[in-house]
């Protein structure tokens, strides 16, 4: 009887471990916004996805947003690093991936967020800058239940840093008052601008489908079924195989 109980316990732990590890196995298709915690509305998901897909196509840098209510027993930083490494966020050889994991606050648990950077991103966004982005851009918004705005601000900061629009040292010069003034002037029309981004995304997608269909009719056999154009194809493609070494920072509220 003891042997049976032992075997039962062993297999229970074994299969539970397999289920946990499945979270970190690379998906067959790329999806840069995974909202398991239902933190965003549908249009917010589309807006963020359009922004991140555009960055991926233009620079090959991939930013992965992942929300969850279950960290599988891991510290959030460890969870983010494992997710980025397991999924291969970023490109092999460049390791230009960023993973942002968000766990919402509940009545019994604090909210948590982490930004984890691939090896190639660490010089551009050092750990201290990741911490400041979390504390300056994200957590103040999260405390006001403005999750989407917090992500937009963090993503915009990461994009500016990776594109070299400003350097990490310059980010230290931002004060709360400077940021407040920038927020008043730059984010008053946040919803309007992001609605425009979503509309442009759908218009581009529709045009791509139309052009692809016309091309397929003129050149049968050259366009494979299921491919609707360059944007849609890129969005459904895979991850590049980037690597993560634990760079980044975390925060809670």
CA distances (Å), origin 127, targets 106, 117, 151 = 27, 9, 18
pLDDT at 21: 78
The radius of gyration of the chain from alpha carbons, rounded to an integer in Å, stands at 20
pTM of the model: 0.71
pLDDT at 191: 53
pLDDT at 125: 96
pLDDT at 210: 53
State pLDDT tens for residues 62-121. 999 999 999 999 999 999 999 999 999 999 999 999 999 999 999 999 999 999 999 999
Low-confidence spans in the chain with pLDDT less than 50: 2-19, 175-177, 179-180, 182-190, 209, 211-236
- The full set of domain ranges for the chain reads 22-170+238-252
Rounded-to-integer distance, Cα 196 and Cα 202, Å: 10
Q: In terms of Cα–Cα distance, which of 135, 168, 174, 176 is closest to 154?
A: 135
Domain 22-170+238-252 is found in CATH 3.10.310.50: yes
């Amino acid at each position: 009887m003891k042997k049976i109980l032992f075997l039962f316990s062993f297999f229970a732990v074994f299969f539970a471990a397999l289920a946990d590890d499945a979270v970190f196995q690379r998906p067959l298709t790329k999806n840069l916004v995974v909202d398991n915690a239902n933190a965003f509305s549908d249009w917010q998901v589309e807006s963020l996805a359009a922004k991140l897909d555009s960055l991926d196509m233009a620079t090959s840098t991939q930013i992965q947003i992942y929300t969850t209510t279950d960290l599988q027993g891991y510290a959030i930083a460890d969870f983010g690093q494992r997710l980025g490494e397991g999924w291969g966020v970023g490109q092999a050889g460049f390791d230009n991936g960023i993973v942002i994991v968000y766990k919402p606050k509940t009545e019994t648990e604090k909210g948590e967020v982490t930004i984890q950077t691939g090896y190639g991103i660490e010089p551009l966004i050092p750990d201290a800058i990741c911490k400041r982005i979390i504390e300056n851009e994200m957590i103040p918004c999260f405390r006001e239940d403005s999750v989407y705005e917090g992500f937009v601000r963090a993503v915009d900061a990461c994009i500016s840093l990776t594109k070299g629009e400003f350097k990490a040292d310059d980010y230290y010069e931002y004060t709360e008052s400077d940021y407040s003034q920038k927020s008043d002037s730059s984010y008053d029309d946040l919803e309007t601008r992001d609605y425009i981004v979503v509309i442009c995304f759908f218009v581009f997608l529709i045009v791509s489908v139309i052009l692809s269909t016309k091309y397929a009719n003129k050149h049968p056999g050259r366009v494979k079924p299921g491919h609707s154009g360059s944007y849609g194809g890129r969005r459904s493609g895979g991850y590049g195989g980037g690597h993560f070494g634990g760079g980044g920072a975390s925060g809670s509220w």
